[in-house]
Chain A
Amino acid sequence: MIDSPTLPQGASNVTSSPSPLAGLRQRLSGRWLFATLLLAGGAVLSLLVLAPLYSLLSKSVENKDGDFVGLANFAHYLSSGGIESAFVNSLWVAALSTVIVVFLAFMAAWALTRTRLPLTGWVRGVLVLPILAPSLLPAISLVYLFGNQGVLKSWLFGAEIYGPIGIIMGSCFWTFPHALMILLTAMDNADGRHYEAATALKASPWRTFWTVTVPGARYGLVSAAFVVFTLVITDFGVPKVIGGQFDVLATDIYKQVIGQQRFEMGAVVSVLLLLPAMLAFVADRYVQRKQSASFTARSVPYKPSHNRRRDAFGALMLAPTVVFILTIIGMAVYASFVTFWPYNLELSLNNYQFGRMDGGGWGAYLNSLQMALGTMVLGTALVFFNAWLVERTPQPKLLTGVFQMLSLLPLAVPGLVLGLSYIFFFNHPDNPLNVIYGSLLILVLCTVSHFYAVSHLTAITALKQLDQEFEAVGESLKASRWRVLFTVTLPLCLPAILDVALYLFVNAMTTVSAVVFLYGHDTQLASVAVLAMDEAGDIAPAAAMAILITLTCAGAKLIQSGLRLWVDRSTRAWRQGAE
């Protein structure tokens, strides 16, 4: 290795050096390569998120013919009275759902982590079940329970399920697991020393609850509130099925675009919907930034003591939620097998013969399966590769900062808004990419971007946990970053990779909002078929399809759990003592 380069002013004793330039190239080749790759990753994300959003924004200030009209569209929409109903409706429905869900989820998380109730594993399993179902399922189920021919209609004392009550109940069902998982994460890591201190200071259980438990979970509570609020205000499935005449922003977009083909008005409503979502996103980021890890290596995990009364209270807190979730799912399953509700209650598989209905039938289901698998493979690869570039390769600070923002942006963009943006961007005649419009690929790309942020955060967290010096050791042992990636980083991240894969698969199977504008004649999807059948009045087949989607997701979850178990088994030796 005598071909060593020198600095231009090289005051060294080196003899044969080719040129200073070669040295520079040698020195930078690694860095340049990785920076270029991350730049490419950033460009792809920009293309998938930023560019479509830009098209949407510009569309909202143009008229039908594409001339710039300033805020005229907004003025028109606001003066048409839409604002009073839809915007205000959206806000209060989302706010009320948030309060209910966060309260129930917090009590459930408390009962699961601070009591000694038996079977908590099973209870946890039931409580997160809704995540496997499309958001249309609770709405359909509620129709069967409380609708005009519903079995429990009398329980509403004459109130209508079609409207805010239905929307809130349905929203609570499907957003509950999201809040629960955030709160469980926040509360699982309780530091036992705080509880011991409280006991030593003779604090009552009630006071301990308010002075130790609640403050410990406050960041989780804030985060859960923002997440639920955003999910409800941007959801379209539940209000579409059970909203009746009750207008919310999400259904308004759908009506403007699909019903009246007024794309620029759809863009206007989208921008209005984007505002609260963005606000919630920024506020959440701001709050989370202040959070510092309170669970340190020195912490002692909390072990609840024996206390019958506390456990009974916990069971009381869990019971209504468990019953509600099981009822909703049970009703949907039952309804899907009933031959002709409510006249012929004989059970049959008639409703599963999708070939006879609208919405694409079994073909749609197969499309969904393909789309979800595509999203899973492409998304997981893209997410991990980019996260690896950010976290484990030398990068200019500015670039990682910009990339980080880009990857979190999808968290603030409602699915409907993203879907509509995709129409504007990818269906534009001048866009060379418009060949993919109407294909399965655009559905995959849209879904990957829609769920990019959470996957990205999971990947980053997993990569951050690895020793910061692995790459440096690799370099000193003459191993490239790539070899370290394949022999060390990826094997260590396998559990997180499986998590991200499942997350993407399940969401791709169940999502409606982003893809409802994008599917083409040959690319109908199962979740959209649920909607179409419901619209056509085929509610039972809609329930059947929703159940089929849920079962598919449950199957995926089972396979993933099996794989994780296998990974854990085969890596137990080297994880031993590492926890």
Chain B
Amino acid sequence: MNQTTQGSRLEIQGVNKFFGDFCALENIDLTIEPGELVCFLGPSGCGKTTLLRIIAGLEQQSAGQLSQGDVDISLKPPRDRDFGIVFQSYALFPNMTVSDNIAYGLRSIGMAKARIRSRVDELLTVIGLEDHARKYPAQLSGGQQQRVALARALAPSPGLLLLDEPLSALDAQVRHHLRSEIRNLQKQLGVTTIMVTHDQEEALAMADRVVVMNNGVIEQVGTPLEIYQQPASAFVASFIGAMNFIDSAAVNGQRVRVGSRELELVRPMPESQDCVRLAIRPEDVHLLPAGDGDWEGQVESMDYLGAFIRTHIRLADLERLLVVDVDPRSARQLNLANGASVCLQLPSDALHCFAA
């Protein structure tokens, strides 16, 4: 595409949303930088769609402000805001051809016919559907429909692109393919983009920054790496990837007690807590041959998951089984098998701790 759209900056301040007595969003503060791709990630019903619809003006916030660029859009109807949107259902107009769908928004702003035609052709090339211009949505595959919806949203060159679970209706392979396609297109156009998803893999793979939401509040905002490596709360830690949780008692600011043994911490502990929850990712646990360490456990079960083996280990001091991911080669060296003994270490720099 020869022309790039300049994305705009979006600022959300103190947004609340009530449905009757039910609080769907609580005090949302968020700034989205121009050209960024931000994912809203969270479990079902946490308010992602609601926040997206408030940004679009399709839903009215109960309190708070939004501004886009230098413009306060808090009270503007959707038509006066500058965005394109793709819904989960795509909502393509079934009675119009692919070109007419894409041209719909251009016609409403009164663009000249010739320019509409060239813009539509341009977008058709971008999404690779030049040969399908005269077809109706029902004659296209799901992935093709998705692309048309994207092209229709992008046609008027909006400063902000909103995507509500755009890939969830597609099968895994098409999804993977479209993921990178959307990402490339977004980068190329520089359009600020918000994408709602409850698929963490999708969010981590595509986003510049991820907004993790739960129960109507933002739990953490950060790059995929930050979210994974430095989860800000136990919720984020458990929601993204796999995580072991271990209950422990604080000894002093730097040490905690787990059962009969004490562990050193590198990360700061939550203040003035007697109990803390330690957390460690399955791949961060070190396994040693039986007898090489002082913390021994028995292998209860092993699941072969391709690139690694997920091992469940019973430890004397823990109620719950500890989940440890081991690569097959180390597993062979350790002679891992059901019932086998193994020693382990929890490296202090891999231990997270949260308020209990």
Contact = CB atoms under 8 A, between A and B. Distances in A.
Interface of A: 1-2, 4-7, 10-15, 17, 23-24, 26-27, 30, 467-470, 472-480, 483, 487-488, 491-492, 571, 573-578
B21 interface: no
A480 B107 CA distance: 12
Interface in B100-146: 104-105, 108-109, 136-139
A4 B95 contact: no
Contacts of B96: 487-488, 574
Q: Size band of the B side of the interface?
A: 35 or more
Contacts of A574: 94-96, 136-139
Contacts of A26: 75-77, 80
Contacts of A27: 60, 75-77
A4 B73 contact: yes
Interface stretch (B22-30, B84-92, B299-307, B348-356): B84-92
Given A1-B80, A26-B76, A472-B78, 16 more contacts: A2-B71, A7-B74, A12-B67, A12-B72, A14-B71, A14-B72, A27-B60, A30-B77, A472-B58, A476-B78, A477-B156, A573-B136, A574-B96, A574-B137, A574-B139, A578-B138
Given A472-B87, A476-B83, A488-B93, A577 B108 contact: no
B108 A479 contact: yes
A491 B70 contact: no
A555 B78 CA distance: 47
Contact of A476 (B70, B89, B94, B153): B153
A492 B95 contact: yes
Given A479-B104, A576-B138, A578-B138, A7 B89 contact: no
Nearest to A578: B138
Given A26-B77, A573-B139, A472 B91 contact: yes
A571 B95 contact: yes
A480 B80 CA distance: 11
Question: Could you say which of B73, B93, B137, B156 has the most chain A C-beta atoms within 10 Å of its C-beta?
Answer: B93
B56 interface: yes
Contacts of A30: 77
Given A10-B65, A470-B93, A578-B138, A17 B105 contact: no
Given A7-B74, A13-B67, A480 B95 contact: no
A6 B74 contact: yes
A13 B70 contact: yes
Nearest to A25: B75
Nearest to A470: B91
A7 B84 CA distance: 25
10 contacts: A1-B82, A4-B73, A14-B70, A467-B89, A468-B89, A469-B87, A477-B84, A477-B108, A478-B108, A480-B108
Given A26-B75, A492-B94, A477 B136 contact: no
B329 interface: no
B13 interface: yes
A479 B105 contact: yes
Contact of A4 (B76, B104, B105, B137): B76
Given A480-B79, A578-B94, A578-B138, A473 B72 contact: no
